[in-house]
Structure 1
Amino acid sequence: MRILHTSDWHVGKVLKGRTRHDEHIKVLAQVVEIAQAERPDLVIVAGDLYDTAAPTADATRVVTRALSALRRTGAEVVAIGGNHDNGAALDALRPWASDAGITLRGSVGQNPDDLRITGTTGDGERWQLVALPFLSQRYAIRASEMYELTAAEANQTYADHIARLIEKLSEPFAQPGVINLLTAHLTIVGASAGGGEREAHTIMGYAVPATIFPPGAHYVALGHLHRSQKVIAPCPARYSGSPLAVDFGEEENIPSVAIVDVSTDKAARVRDVPIASARALRTVRGTLEQLATVKLPDAWLRVLVRETPRVGLREDVQELLPNALEVRIDPEMMPSRTGGRMAQRAGRSPRELFGDYLDHRGNAEDGVRELFDELYDEVSTAP
């Protein structure tokens, strides 16, 4: 059978105040075009359909239309909730999804069978999929309560609870002649972050070893990390990555979806299909004179300016580069703190401290010190 594996759409993402609504429409349209060309039997969306737990009506419209268009290609479609999604809200859409032939799993309930999905391809190949949405630390413990735990087991780590849950859910994988699949929204130890993930849900407390995956799985479709990559595990496992760079930390990533050919008697074969519909994200640096030579009209820019800080510098940069979403002084231009200790605060007046701050930052703008003196006098003499 053939699978199209995608994840981390982050529809509704706003980048430095700039909406990416039109980009998402183009990106997901290209995903649908790939599905039409590749004719997968199954499409897996491995979490983070939205960028926020309270998506706008426009974002919801984009996601539901994309899922429906993928279903109209003839593929079965399964989507799970990620850490950015509102699992309960996704589950509330299940009646609509069911009528549309789409399988949504936003959260983990008390019935393990609800997370086990089965199907048969047009060629008669049987498959079963364990669909595990993102679980917070608290809900990982609650999910483990579907079977009795000792006091010691209840106090084990997040990774232990996820491992026990996957072991429980994948018990039917012992059945012969069926393609065994698993999808989950997780951070795997040793995998590379894409650069734009939510740090609180990728730090070590949420990282799990790849050994939690059952050797009997023919393919594990992962979401959460935004860089496309293979995971060394007891079975074939992969992150599809995000189909567009979510933030400037991801500008070196190659947005793509994964096409997977898998059967019961052959190792899964995976190839990435690039997605080029979104604007590129690029970081540029230089003086104003150097920035005036930059020609990247179709990219969103992060600009590191190699100039002395002054009022109006940002506006000058954005006049040269209208697509500059982030403008700041190049860190290499900042004065080093290793040349001496910072001025001590004790016993020094606010005027002296502010003067030291301006000197440290190299700010020589006329009138700034005088303006501070006026404001300070006004505040300190107020009744």
Structure 2
Amino acid sequence: MKFLHTADWHVGKTLKGRSRLDEQRAVLGQIIGHAREHDVDAVLIAGDLYDTAAPSPDAQQLVVQALLALRDTGAKVIAIAGNHDNAATFDAYRPLMDAVDITLAGRVRSAGKGGVVSFDARSTGERVNVAVLPFLSQRYAVKAAQLVASTPAEMSRDYDAMVREVIDALAASFTPGAVNVMMAHLTVVGGAFGGGERQAQSIFEYHVPAAAFPADVHYVALGHLHRRQTLPAPAPVVYSGSPFAVDFGEQDNIPVVCLVQASPSTPARITDLAVTAGRRLRTVHGTVDEIVARAEEFGDDYLRVYIREPARAGLREEVTDALPNALEVRIDPEFAVSIAERQPTTDHRDRSPAELFADFCTARNVADPKVQALFERLHDEVTSVGRE
């Protein structure tokens, strides 16, 4: 049987105030196209469908339309809540989605109450069991361990120990002669960050080792880290990554969805399917003239611009007028440091206020005659009060 593994859609994400819904619509359209072209039996979405727990109506509409379109390909669609999603809302809509053969899992459930989703693959008739593990906070991990594993769990217990109990309890419902899959939204030790994750819910106690997953599971479909990667483990433990660059920290990631082929008796085979509909994010360095001269090269890319010249009034506007997709403009930190290091130590005792202000501007990479003239005028006005 075949299924698609995707995660971390972050629908509703804005970048420096710029809406990305049209871009996200194109990305999801490409994922739907992959599902249709490869005639998959299921689509697994491993959390963070939304970028916020209170998504806009437009973001919700886009996700619902995408889920329905994936269902219309004939695939079984299963999605879990990530740390950016509203788990309670997922569970509230679960009965409605069940009615159209789409499974949403907001919070951890025992295997018999929806924690394991079982179905027959339409292409082969093989039995498929998918254990679903939505994002668990440290506080809720205690409750989940009690609910699913039926064991007393103390707050002092390690997060990964409680998550292991949940995984083991769900895996106990796997059946021989079936394709057994686990889907989770969490951080696995050794995973590389993609660049746009919410750090406070990815480090410290929020992680488990890859060995937490059963060795005989056919595939572990993960969400949360935005970079496509397979972690060393007896079974395939895979992050599909985000299908588009969520922030500039992810500009070098290669967006994909994973096409997985598995049978009860053979190891999973994974093929990465490119997702190219998202706009490229790019960081560029240079003087204003150097960067503006490259405008045609940048096309529709969103830009983070690091200027290698001193600050002056209107500098940002110069860049954005020529490059409307420049979302962030700042002085290059390396350039600022190099200028500061070249400044000699000066004896200020016999220097005028104008000279001292000029030194101050130079130390902060500000080179604007209008600023210097304004200071001198204001200084003259202040010091002349009472002398007339």
Tell me if both proteins adopt one fold, taking TM over 0.5 as the criterion. yes
What SS does the corresponding residue of 1:119 show, helix, strand or coil? strand
Q: Distance in 2 between matches of 1:102 and 1:318?
A: 44
Is the contact made by 1:280 and 1:300 (CA closer than 8 Å) also made in structure 2? Answer: yes
What percentage of aligned pairs have identical amino acids? Answer: 48
Residue 43 (structure 1) aligns with: 43
Residues 1:167 and 2:207 are matched in the alignment: no
- 1:292 Cα deviation from its structure 2 partner: 2.2
Change in CA separation of 1:60 and 1:358 when aligned onto 2, cut-off 3 Å: same
Partner of 2:386: none
Correspondence list, 1:10-21, <5 A: 10-21=10-21
Unaligned runs of 5+ in 1: 344-350, 379-383
Structure 1: which amino acid aligns with 2:368? E
Structure 2 stretches lacking a partner, 5+ long:
347-353, 383-388
Corresponding residue number in structure 2 for 1:266: 266
- 1:199-252: per-residue Cα shift (whole Å, max 9, x none)? 111223212110100112111100011111111122111111111111111111
TM-score by length of 1: 0.89
The corresponding residue for 1:358 is 361
Tell me the secondary structure at the aligned position of residue 241 of structure 1. coil
Distance 1:266 1:260 in 2: 12
Give the Cα–Cα distance (whole angstroms) in 2 for the partners of residues 162 and 326 of structure 1: 40
Secondary structure in 2 aligned to 1:188?
A: coil
SS at match of 2:263: coil
- The amino acid of 2:114's aligned partner reads D
Q: Structure 1 residues 373 and 185 mapped into 2: Cα distance closer, same or farther (>3 Å)?
A: farther
Aligned length: 369
Q: Which amino acid aligns with 1:88?
A: A
2:143 maps to amino acid: R
Question: Are 1:112 and 1:169, in contact at CA under 8 Å, matched by a contact in 2?
Answer: no
Larger Rg: 2
Which residue of structure 2 lines up, in the alignment, with residue 314 of structure 1?
Answer: 316
Question: 1:314 & 1:59 partners in 2: Cα distance?
Answer: 31
CA distance, structure 2, for counterparts of residue 374 and residue 90 of structure 1: 60
Aligned residue identity for 2:166:
L
Relative to 1, partners in 2 of residues 1:115 and 1:356: Cα closer, same or farther, differing over 3 Å?
Answer: farther
Q: Which residue type is aligned with residue 255 of structure 1?
A: P
Q: Distance in 2 between matches of 1:99 and 1:265?
A: 33
Partner amino acid for 2:219?
A: Y
8 Å contact from structure 2 (residues 80, 132) kept in 1? yes
| Corresponding residue for residue 235 of structure 1 | 235
Q: Which amino acid aligns with 2:142?
A: I
Question: In the alignment, is the contact (CA less than 8 A) between 1:223 and 1:239 conserved in 2?
Answer: yes
Matched, 1:99 2:102: no
Q: Is the 8 A contact 2:240 2:258 kept in 1?
A: yes
Local SS of the residue matching 1:333: helix
5 Å matches for 1:227-376?
Answer: 227-294=227-294, 295-335=297-337, 358-366=361-369, 368=371
